Amino acid sequence: MTQAAAGTATHEGESAATSGSAKAPGVGGTSASPAPSAPSGASSSTGSTGSTGSTGSGRRISVMRRRPWISVAFLLPALVLLGALVAYPIVYSVFRSFMSADGSSFAGVDNFHEVFTDDTTLTAFRNNLIWVIVAPALCTALGLIFAVLTERVRWGTAFKLLIFMPMAISMLASGIIFRLVYEQDPARGVANAMWTSVHDTFADTSPWPDARPRNDAPLTASGGGAYTTKGTVDATSPASLPLVGIPPKEAADAVPAKVPAKSGDGKVTGTVWLDFVKGGRSEHGKVDQSEKALAGIKVQAVKDGHKVAEATTAEDGTFTLPAAADGARLKLPATNFAAPYNGVDWLGPTLVTPAIIGSYIWMWAGFAMVLIAAGLAGVPRELLEQARVDGANEWKVFRKITVPLLAPVLGVVTVTLMINVLKIFDLVYIISPGASQRDANVLALQLYLKSFGGGANQGVGSALAVILLLLVVPVMVLNIRRLRRESRR
């Protein structure tokens, strides 16, 4: 009896122990599968998995801590290049900015004093400010417009490709292209060729801008580029108004000049012609057989300083004035001899900076468009459709929803372009001609001119480099902070 009870108790104790050991690893009394046995020879205290190891306390140790020479070996080439190409030039430029022009003596802050008192450098500061304000804003605005407008059209991809294509062209090549575009001569410059075509459509051009009378001609200068006859005219004999100064090749297609018949009704007649024969002899003031007529010349009859009649010469150079012109002086207005419209002086002192900014926008608007289009692709379409359902027109959808959602992208594009224009050099140096280069000057160009372009003062050039660095660093810091803030969202 006693032995049986003891056996039963022993059996129940073993069952309870087994049950307890099975329930311990589980949660809520659920039994867990037994842990697999460790392989033969494996250590029960430490082990390694991949690039980290574990200690008895459960902490993992990275390879960089256990083997720091591996990380150094990988970083050393990059650090050497960074130090040689970035750190050393910066440190040396700061040191050189306090030295004299040839680097033989210490100059202190004299170089910085010269920078901020030199008129040319102050012009460069002003132009850089214009660049920073205008160029990034216009590029970003155009990029936003292009990205939004081409989102729904079928040919949007092709249009974006055309707008982005200038990015594949170097600054040097773009500068050469726009130097030709802005040429003053309309026969060579595309901008002035288009501008003069529009101008000549709405304004009359001078038929013979090079014409002028001889010294012994019956015409004399009357001020403002006009010419008036020395005496009065009448209807009894035709008036002769000879002109010279026109290249024969320009009048080669003109018809021979004629002398009009005497008018019997009191009208005043006359002829305007080129009083010159190439390779031959002609009598001054008389219409010879081979001399060319000057058509399209305006002739006015003036009495007591007032115009009483006006006529225009025909193809044969003749003109007819009414009887009111009898006894008047004949006047050839200055409009007959005005120089032809030659377009806009794009590269002159006034427009050279806006013209160069225009070439920069042509290159970088595509860059802004691509980045903004990528951000626009991530805008939730549900918000746009909901706004349209609620009655908002496309302008309100764009202004109230699209632009605010794209604000981070627009900020990144604007700041990136600001950094880029602070260092602009190529376009300004190539496009601006020598006569107006001073008016288009920027800090990077002034740095080059002072150091290597004839100034031979690397002390002042280094001071400009330090100032340019100080201007770029805050914008770079702002951009980095913005990127970090966006990455944490």
Q: Give the number of other Cβ atoms within 10 Å of residue 259's Cβ.
A: 16
CA 413/CA 423 separation, integer angstroms? 16
Per residue in 176-231, pLDDT (tens digit) is 999 999 998 888 899 999 998 888 888 777 888 888 898 888 898 988 889 999 98
Q: What is the 3-state secondary structure (H, E, C) of 183-195?
A: CCCCCCCHHHHHH
**Is the Cβ–Cβ distance between 260 and 318 less than 8 Å?**
yes
pLDDT of residue 187: 86
Here the tokens at position 101 are 């022009």
CA 228/CA 212 separation, integer angstroms? 12
Q: Which residue has the higher pLDDT, 203 or 242?
A: 242
CA angle 191, 196, 202 (to 5 degrees): 140
CA 62/CA 51 separation, integer angstroms? 6
Here the tokens at position 473 are 């660093």
Per DSSP, what are the bridge partners of residue 301?
Answer: 309, 330
Confidence class of residue 337 from pLDDT cuts 50, 70 and 90? confident
Between the CA atoms of 430, 431, 437 and 443, what dihedral angle is there, to the nearest 10 degrees?
-60
pLDDT of 48 strictly over 50: no
Confidence class of residue 60 from pLDDT cuts 50, 70 and 90? low
pLDDT of 13 strictly over 50: no
Confidence class of residue 281 from pLDDT cuts 50, 70 and 90? low
CA 469/CA 300 separation, integer angstroms? 67
Here the tokens at position 309 are 């009649």
pLDDT of residue 157: 85
Q: Which residues contact 275 (CB under 8 A, 6 or more apart)?
A: 214, 217, 242, 243, 244, 282, 284, 285, 291
pLDDT of residue 312: 92
